[in-house]
Amino acid sequence: MLSRVADSLYWMSRYLERAEHTVRLLDVNMGLMLDRSGTSAEGRWLRVLEALGNPPDLEWEGDHIQLVRTLTFDDEHPASITACIMSARENARQVRDELSTEQWQRLNRLYHQVTEPNMPGNGNQLEEFLPSVLDGLHLFQGITDTTMTHGEGWQFIQMGRSLERAFATVKLLDIYYHDFFTVSEEAGGNNRYLEWIGLLRCCTAFEAYCRVYTADLSHEWILEFLLLNSDFPHSVRYCIDGLRQALLSVRQSSGRLAADELSRVAGRLQSSLNFAEIREVLEQDTAAYLRGILRQCNQIHDLIYGYYIHYSVHAALSA
Amino acid sequence: MQLRNSESRPQLQSGRRPQLDHPVLDEYFLDHAFDEMFDEQGIVRPHYASLINTFTKLPKEELQRRKQSADLSFLMQGITFTVYGRDEGTERIFPYDLLPRIVTAKEWERIEKGLTQRITALNAFLRDVYTDGKILADGFVPREIVYSCRHFRREMRGLQVPRNVYIAVTGTDLLRLNNGEFVVLEDNLRVPSGVSYMLTSRRVMKRIFPQLFGDYGVRPIEHYTRVLLSTLRSLAPEGRPEPSIVLLTPGIYNSAYFEHTYLARQMGIELVEGRDLVIHDNVVYMRTTAGLKRVDVIYRRVDDDFIDPLSFRSDSMLGVAGLFNAYRAGNVTLANAFGTGLADDKALYAYVPSIIRYYLGEEPLLNNVETYLMTDPAQRQHTIENLDKLVVKAVGESGGYGMLIGPQSTQAERDEFRLCIEANPRNYIAQPTLDFSRAPCLMGSPEAPLIEPRHVDLRPYILYGDKVTIVPGGLTRVALPKGSLVVNSSQGGGSKDTWVLNE
């Protein structure tokens, strides 16, 4: 497969995952604003901004509806949902013939939905609009899985999604750990409980969590579930497992078995998550542990690019 | 290509109607242009009898149903124009006409022989000009015509190309004159397009009119992509028995991008852009996830000017730096070769008959359209005196740019062209305004369908590898608006399937 094609598919997938994460983050936090709680609006939305990587030129100015509108519709802001979907579609356009017609049409429809939000049927209410975008994103994923050959191109899509999702989950954990996990029950009270539900909802994890641990929330269990659960699609371990599988599959089909460093780094991360115990994670400097995972995710991204996409001609010729 | 009707032509002769009475033919008038379906007396030509019979017998609801079914089929195959911008996603189908254009075996035989002769001679000419230059030394073609041509590539001098084939793919535009004779209007020797429409509309027609198609005994064209692939393979550099072949496209913004993806898919070869290729030690590689993979043959759909920023236009973003050197080194084949545009220069066109005589010692089987060279004082004088009756074209342009259509021009435009011609005679030629043939097309509304004549041209595709192959058929382009002589798709032109009969 051409490197350019792999590159476009990978980024298409990452942008869509990013859009999905942003939609959920905004939707959940708008919902939480309706509850009267001890959490200040400022603290909440600053956290949202931080979870989105503190996009430049975007500041908390006291009006959360305005902020949500900007993060949804303003295509000038690279972090907005619209901008993400536009970038995803631009990448898809470059490799139109690698995608199925169904995929392309679905993505196009999503694009029109976000770029022309006043079209009939779109609903002017953000509360209705955000879930409908989420539906569109889910449809695209389903169509991708059922209509596209699960070959190398599909594997690059999986890679993009897994990496983006793992990154987003760890980032959220990092922020919440700092604000809510270390505070004692007396200081946080009900407030803390509400925020924990918010965190789980941001990862669509509330119901799945309850099934494992019941509705008893504890910071230890939440961390364990979102970090180390082997079966939940938004847990970091699940994402890294998926990433590793896609990497192995590409390694095989491309015949470039020498992707040593990439295998090593991804394999090490996967093993560390597979064999970790939450007690150990909590005993050490947890924040540093989480940031270590983020760093490894970035490293894996760079290595994928170094091996498959932007390798130097010299390295390729001497290999 | 662009042609307009001349206002000096006789008005429609009233009363000249086909000798066939049916409401669907109510608007069918014959004029002095050759009619593909009716002869001078208005009698149906034998090879159109069964077609018109079928269409007049179909109830209009059934006709409408088939038309819709064909539309859907085009849409489903993705044979669409996609307009970038706000409307994208609302794909428009390629305009086409449901009635096939029929070419008899005898007519085709002459076209096939004539085109083979013409391409063989033009290829020999390119080889000669870029190596020995005998034809120039012998004075059959003036040196100044060759060396002043914008598409002449001095860089090609002395270069040995595989099998001496310069023009692997050609799409020649033919017209049919009043007397029924096919003539060549243009040789497109650079990057001719449109063949995907020929292939896809055939597939649709077979599905919509299986019975009619089967009864007619139409010669197949489905092998085009296979022959194209083996043509490209036969041109691989020596010592590369299993050549890797790619199609080089300018990218998604090119209007023929659909065709590029279609052909690449049909041939099972990789579709690459300039940025996918790298040159190292004069060898071309493509960047894949499995590392660099060597490329042996490039079916390029990028113009000469843009293909290598090191050798040609340095501002080109579409090309590959160093490609020309790799080509000169013989490590990669380009189809078509560089510099083939020399032989489809509109001034050189006037010399093609002598080129055929010079290399093959034969008389041309397909004639040219009469052409006046502005470099010749007498012909220039004649042209300037008759600007209101002639078509003037700039030699290096195509697609209808840089043209004066005399009968439709204003005095100011004619004055401007006269000054241009006098300032740079080499840059212009003149031709008479032509009335080319018309073929029946399905017009009117779904409630009241009508068959009316419309002007058509014909572009067969010629492949030249170890031998010359012309797939029996081509792209018949139609000027769909009434009275129009413009067949370009950008200006209301469409296409129709072309049926070449077995006998």
Closest alpha carbon within chain A to B292: A316
Calpha distance A198→A230 (Å, rounded): 22
Chain A residues whose beta carbon lies within 8 Å of the beta carbon of residue B264:
97
What sign for the dihedral angle of Cα B343, B345, B346, B350?
Answer: negative
Subunit contact A109:B89, Cβ cutoff 8 A: yes
Q: Is pLDDT of A191 > 80? A: no
Calpha distance B294→B276 (Å, rounded): 12
Report which of B176, B196, B202, B199 is spatially closest to residue B455, judged by C-alpha positions.
B176
Subunit contact B252:A93, Cβ cutoff 8 A: yes
The verdict on B312 and B387 lying in the same domain is no
Calpha distance B468→A60 (Å, rounded): 71
In this complex, the residue of A94, A308, A313 whose CB is nearest that of residue B289 is A308
In this complex, the residue of A1, A96, A112 whose CB is nearest that of residue B289 is A1
Subunit contact A2:B285, Cβ cutoff 8 A: no
Q: Is pLDDT of B83 > 60? A: no
In chain A, which residues touch B (CB < 8 A)? Answer: 1-4, 6, 93-94, 96-97, 101, 105, 108-109, 111-112, 152, 250, 254-256, 308-309, 311, 313, 316-317, 319
Q: Is pLDDT of B76 > 80? A: no
The answer to whether residues B452 and B27 touch, using CB atoms and an 8 Å cutoff, is yes
Calpha distance A64→B106 (Å, rounded): 78
Range of the domain at B396: 370-432
The answer to whether residues B423 and B430 touch, using CB atoms and an 8 Å cutoff, is no
Q: Is pLDDT of A189 > 70? A: no
pLDDT digits (tens, 9 = 90+) for A223-256: 999 999 999 999 999 999 999 999 999 988 887 7
Q: Is pLDDT of B146 > 90? A: yes
Q: What is the pLDDT of residue A188?
A: 55
Chain A residues whose beta carbon lies within 8 Å of the beta carbon of residue B89:
105, 108-109, 111-112
In this complex, the residue of B252, B271, B292 whose CB is nearest that of residue A313 is B292
Angle between helices B224-234 and B195-208 (to 10 degrees): 150
The verdict on B29 and B83 lying in the same domain is yes
CA distance B93 to chain A (A): 15
The verdict on B418 and B495 lying in the same domain is no
The verdict on B264 and B379 lying in the same domain is no
Report which of A299, A292, A297 is spatially closest to residue A261, judged by C-alpha positions.
A299
Q: Is pLDDT of B343 > 90? A: yes
Contacts by A212-219 with C-beta closer than 8 Å and gap 24+?
A: A217/A193, A219/A180, A219/A181
Chain A residues whose beta carbon lies within 8 Å of the beta carbon of residue B283:
none
Residue B201 burial (CB < 10 Å; 0-12/13-18/19+)? buried
Q: What is the pLDDT of residue A112?
A: 84
pLDDT digits (tens, 9 = 90+) for B473-498: 999 999 888 877 777 766 667 899 99
Chain B residues whose beta carbon lies within 8 Å of the beta carbon of residue A254:
288-291
Instruction: Classify residue B384: in a domain, yes or no.
Output: yes
pLDDT classification of B85: cutoffs 50, 70, 90? very low
pLDDT digits (tens, 9 = 90+) for A262-284: 999 999 999 999 999 999 999 99
Percent of chain A residues past pLDDT 90, beyond the cut: 63
Q: Is pLDDT of B10 > 50? A: no
pLDDT classification of B88: cutoffs 50, 70, 90? very low
Q: What is the pLDDT of residue A36?
A: 73
Chain B, 248-307: which have a CB under 8 Å from a chain A CB? 252, 261, 264-265, 270-273, 275-276, 278, 280, 285-292
CATH number for position B399: 3.30.1490.270
Closest alpha carbon within chain B to A4: B276
DSSP state of B29: -
pLDDT classification of A260: cutoffs 50, 70, 90? confident
> How would you classify residue B355: left for phi > 0, otherwise alpha for psi between -120 and 50, otherwise beta?
alpha
pLDDT classification of B86: cutoffs 50, 70, 90? very low
pLDDT digits (tens, 9 = 90+) for A51-95: 999 988 888 988 898 999 999 998 889 999 999 999 999 999 888
Strands (E), B191-305: 245-248, 270-272, 277-280, 283-288, 291-294, 297-300
Q: Is pLDDT of B188 > 60? A: yes
Query: B282: which residues sit within 8 A by CB, 6+ positions away?
Result: B322, B325, B326, B329, B331
Contacts by B476-484 with C-beta closer than 8 Å and gap 24+?
A: B476/B101, B476/B439, B477/B194, B478/B97, B478/B439, B478/B441, B478/B454, B479/B454, B479/B455, B480/B95, B480/B97, B480/B441, B480/B454, B482/B452, B482/B454, B483/B5, B484/B5, B484/B454, B484/B455
CA distance A54 to chain B (A): 31
HSE-up of B145 (CA within 13 Å, CB side)?
26
Instruction: Classify residue B73: in a domain, yes or no.
Output: yes
The verdict on B277 and B321 lying in the same domain is yes
Q: What is the pLDDT of residue B8?
A: 41
Subunit contact B289:A93, Cβ cutoff 8 A: no
Q: Is pLDDT of A257 > 80? A: no
pLDDT digits (tens, 9 = 90+) for B217-254: 999 999 999 999 999 999 999 999 899 999 999 988 88
The residue among A188 and B318 whose pLDDT is bigger is B318
Beta bridge partners of B391: B405, B431
Subunit contact A311:B265, Cβ cutoff 8 A: no
Calpha distance A275→A281 (Å, rounded): 11
- B29-to-B178, B316, B431, B434, B435 alpha-carbon distances in Å: 15, 50, 27, 19, 15
Q: Is pLDDT of B458 > 70? A: yes
pLDDT classification of A148: cutoffs 50, 70, 90? very high
Q: What is the pLDDT of residue B457?
A: 94
Token match 């001609």: residue? Answer: A313
ipTM (interface predicted TM): 0.82
DSSP state of B439: E
Subunit contact A2:B288, Cβ cutoff 8 A: yes
In this complex, the residue of B89, B252, B289 whose CB is nearest that of residue A3 is B289
The residue among B400 and A68 whose pLDDT is bigger is A68
Report which of A273, A208, A215, A262 is spatially closest to residue A240, judged by C-alpha positions.
A273
Among B272, B284, B289, B292, most A C-beta atoms within 10 A, so best to mutate, is B289
Subunit contact B276:A2, Cβ cutoff 8 A: yes
The answer to whether residues B435 and B32 touch, using CB atoms and an 8 Å cutoff, is yes
Question: Residue B317 is encoded by which pair of tokens?
Answer: 């973003």
Mean pLDDT of all residues in B304-315: 85
Chain B residues whose beta carbon lies within 8 Å of the beta carbon of residue A315:
none
The verdict on B255 and B403 lying in the same domain is no
Q: What is the pLDDT of residue B79?
A: 65
Instruction: Classify residue B356: in a domain, yes or no.
Output: no
Q: What is the pLDDT of residue B237?
A: 95
Q: Is pLDDT of B347 > 50? A: yes
In this complex, the residue of A101, A105, A254 whose CB is nearest that of residue B289 is A254
CA distance A309 to chain B (A): 6
pLDDT digits (tens, 9 = 90+) for B255-278: 788 899 889 989 999 999 999 999
Greatest distance between any 2 Cα atoms in chain B: 72
In this complex, the residue of B261, B280, B290 whose CB is nearest that of residue A255 is B290
**Domain count of chain B?**
3
- What's the whole-number average pLDDT of chain A? 89
CATH number for position B295: 3.40.50.11290
**Alpha-helical regions (H) of B217-320:** 224-234, 257-267, 304-307
Calpha distance A58→A54 (Å, rounded): 8
Subunit contact A94:B288, Cβ cutoff 8 A: no
Closest alpha carbon within chain B to A259: B290
Q: What is the pLDDT of residue B226?
A: 96
- Asked, as a colleague might, if the bond just before B424 is cis with ω within 30 of 0, I would say no
The verdict on B248 and B383 lying in the same domain is no
The Cβ of residue B98 has, within 10 Å, a number of other Cβ atoms equal to 21
In this complex, the residue of A101, A111, A316 whose CB is nearest that of residue B292 is A316
H/E run at residue B453:
strand B449-455
- What's the whole-number average pLDDT of chain B? 88
- 3-state secondary structure at position A57: coil
The verdict on B397 and B277 lying in the same domain is no
Q: Is pLDDT of A122 > 80? A: no
B89 touches chain A (CB under 8 A): yes
Query: b or e along A53-79 (b: 16 or more beta carbons within 10 Å of the residue's beta carbon)?
Result: eeeeebeeeeebeebbebbbbeeebeb
Chain A residues whose beta carbon lies within 8 Å of the beta carbon of residue B288:
1-3, 254
Q: Which of B304, B331, B358 is where one domain is finished?
A: B331
Domain limits, chain A = 1-147, 150-319
Mean pLDDT of all residues in B51-65: 90
Subunit contact A313:B265, Cβ cutoff 8 A: no
Report which of B294, B301, B297, B293 is spatially closest to residue B273, judged by C-alpha positions.
B301
Q: What is the pLDDT of residue A185?
A: 55
Q: What is the pLDDT of residue B210?
A: 93
Chain B residues whose beta carbon lies within 8 Å of the beta carbon of residue A316:
285, 287, 291-292
Subunit contact A256:B291, Cβ cutoff 8 A: yes
Calpha distance A261→A304 (Å, rounded): 10
pLDDT classification of A183: cutoffs 50, 70, 90? low
Q: What is the pLDDT of residue A259?
A: 64
Calpha distance A238→A236 (Å, rounded): 5
The answer to whether residues A302 and A286 touch, using CB atoms and an 8 Å cutoff, is no
The verdict on B97 and B204 lying in the same domain is yes
Mean pLDDT of all residues in B146-150: 91
Mean pLDDT of all residues in B148-165: 92
pLDDT digits (tens, 9 = 90+) for A205-224: 999 999 999 888 888 999 99
Q: Is pLDDT of B133 > 70? A: yes
pLDDT classification of B4: cutoffs 50, 70, 90? very low
Strands (E), chain A: none
Question: Residue B127 is encoded by which pair of tokens?
Answer: 């080889």
Query: B235: which residues sit within 8 A by CB, 6+ positions away?
Result: B162, B163, B165, B168, B297, B333, B335, B465
Q: Is pLDDT of B368 > 90? A: yes
The verdict on B93 and B212 lying in the same domain is yes
Percent of chain B residues past pLDDT 70, beyond the cut: 91
Mean pLDDT of all residues in A162-188: 82
**C-alpha angle B151/B157/B160, rounded to 5°?**
115
Query: b or e along B416-445 (b: 16 or more beta carbons within 10 Å of the residue's beta carbon)?
Result: ebbebbeeebbbbbbbebbbbbbbbbbbee
pLDDT classification of B87: cutoffs 50, 70, 90? very low
Greatest distance between any 2 Cα atoms in chain A: 64
Query: A273: which residues sit within 8 A by CB, 6+ positions away?
Result: A227, A228, A236, A237, A240
Subunit contact A2:B286, Cβ cutoff 8 A: yes
Q: Is pLDDT of B410 > 60? A: yes
The verdict on B202 and B103 lying in the same domain is yes
- A138-to-A79, A88, A135 alpha-carbon distances in Å: 20, 14, 5
